[in-house]
Structure 1
């Protein structure tokens, strides 16, 4: 099985990180944890702003693989302790839309980048 790493041009790039991967034999897309990082690598704003950007990043990786929200079979959302999760859900609705998906939300002490308050990963299965 060959693996294709995905790094959409609209996302901040790192030489040691792939935003997602597609396995040619499985047709499964794995989107690595996305923060509210913009194309320049900056993370700004509150949970609402960061959730919207993180989901736009997830959608960009999915699009690079030829997928949309419809193919997502799982989302995992990591939220920094103290953030209002309900605000995050509201922001998610704005960007994600009405696409039901199995979801896990985990409250964590912190994320790899201190200014990040949310990280979102996804798994999608292509037809």
Structure 2
């Protein structure tokens, strides 16, 4: 049993993302709500997008660990980035941590007018799956 990530013929092949995924029956699915670059008190860690991006991924990792999963179990990422933030700096900070083993996960990204947390420049959510042993 394995999670199959697809990059079908007729769609662009990218090392950064797959287009579809098949999660077998019996896998445990974990949903992580949007995480910003905030510390455990809710304070934004930095006005810089790279630091916020790194912390947002750290926060996803903490949530996944609490559910018995890790970043390598992520099937799909959603990344929201403030329209005025430096996209290159954001992805430079998180791209190496988005990829799992084998084919890359699914990724949805959007530039947005703003986020719910004042001062936040990025919000990251994830869907992970853990196969039964």
TM-score class, shorter-chain normalisation, is 0.7 to 0.9
Q: Which of 116, 127, 130 is residue 112 of structure 1 equivalent to?
A: 116
**Residues matched between the structures, number:** 102
Query: In 2, are the aligned partners of 1:44 and 1:115 still within 8 Å (CA)?
Result: no
- Alignment partner, residue 129 of structure 2: 125
Q: Distance in 2 between matches of 1:111 and 1:93?
A: 21
Shift of residue 69 of structure 1? Answer: 1.8
Q: Distance in 2 between matches of 1:42 and 1:122?
A: 21
Compare CA radii of gyration and give the structure with the larger one. Answer: 2
The correspondence of residues 94-105 of structure 1 with structure 2, limited to 5 A, is 96=97, 98-99=99-100, 100-105=104-109
TM-score, length basis structure 1: 0.74
Shift of residue 98 of structure 1? Answer: 4.6
Which ranges of structure 1 fall in alignment gaps of 5 or more residues?
A: 1-24
Alignment CA distance shift 1:80-1:72 (3 Å)? same
Query: Does the residue aligned with 1:123 lie in a helix, a strand or coil?
Result: strand
- Alignment partner, residue 69 of structure 1: 71
Q: Which runs of 4+ in 1 moved over 3 A?
A: none
Shift of residue 44 of structure 1? Answer: 3.0
- Alignment partner, residue 43 of structure 2: 42
Which ranges of structure 2 fall in alignment gaps of 5 or more residues?
A: 1-25
- Alignment partner, residue 28 of structure 2: 27
Q: Distance in 2 between matches of 1:40 and 1:74?
A: 27
Cα deviation 1:69-122 (Å, max 9, x = unaligned): 22110000000011111111111146x275232111100000011200000000
Higher relative contact order (CA closer than 8 Å, sequence separation 6+): 2
